[in-house]
Amino acid sequence: MNRFRFHTLVLAALAIWPAVGSAQHAPVVDQAGSLDQSVSVQQIGTATAVDVAQQAPLARAELGLAGERLAASLRQQGQADAGFALLMEGSDGLVDAIQSGDAGGSNVASVWQSGAGNSASLDQYASAGMPNHVALIQDGTANIAFLTQSGEGNSLDLAQRGADNFAAIDQIGSGLGLSLSQLGGASVSITQTGGR
């Protein structure tokens, strides 16, 4: 299967996976309004999915998934710092996360995937001159990542290990920093708009 077709299939899977996985172990957490929200979810099993939406200042999420056919969907939006940590161990792990900070908000994400069908889509948008930081480690076979950052003081650390590595990275703003390590099939596309 050619790389373009494979990536198209992965994007389609990212779009529908949370709906498919919701028939089984699929907690949905929706928090809005109050200051300093936090959520912690730990799941082990097959067809395990979690869907978290937080809209408030100082949103925090800690998610741990282990098993097969794993999926995590996360949306964070608020007027102050948003952060999440995700540990995903197993096969066919899909991650779809969007962090959007209003005035005065910065975003921090830490993701570790270990397994066979690694895939990740992480978008960070900070306004009013605030920074974004993402650290992503993928360990396994298919290793695909799509990462977008928009803000001032963006930093991104990506390590892909395994067989088929692919990364598409967009950074927009000022104070851009990028560290990338690939071991395997390695294919990368990087766009930086702005300055140091």
| H or E segment and range at residue 132 | strand 132-140
Judge contact between 187 and 165, C-beta under 8 A.
yes
* Amino acid identity for residue 51 in this structure: D
Query: Per-residue pLDDT tens for 22-51?
Result: 345 677 888 887 777 889 999 999 888 999
User: Which tokens go with 49?
Assistant: 């999915």
Provide φ and ψ at 7, rounded to 5°.
Answer: -65, -35
Which percentage of the chain shows pLDDT scores above 70? 85
The answer to whether residues 28 and 49 touch, using CB atoms and an 8 Å cutoff, is: no
Which sequence spans correspond to the domains of the chain? Answer: 3-195
- Digit-coded pLDDT (tens) for 158-191: 999 888 899 999 999 988 999 999 988 899 999 9
Torsion of CA 196, 179, 137, 183, to 10 degrees: 150
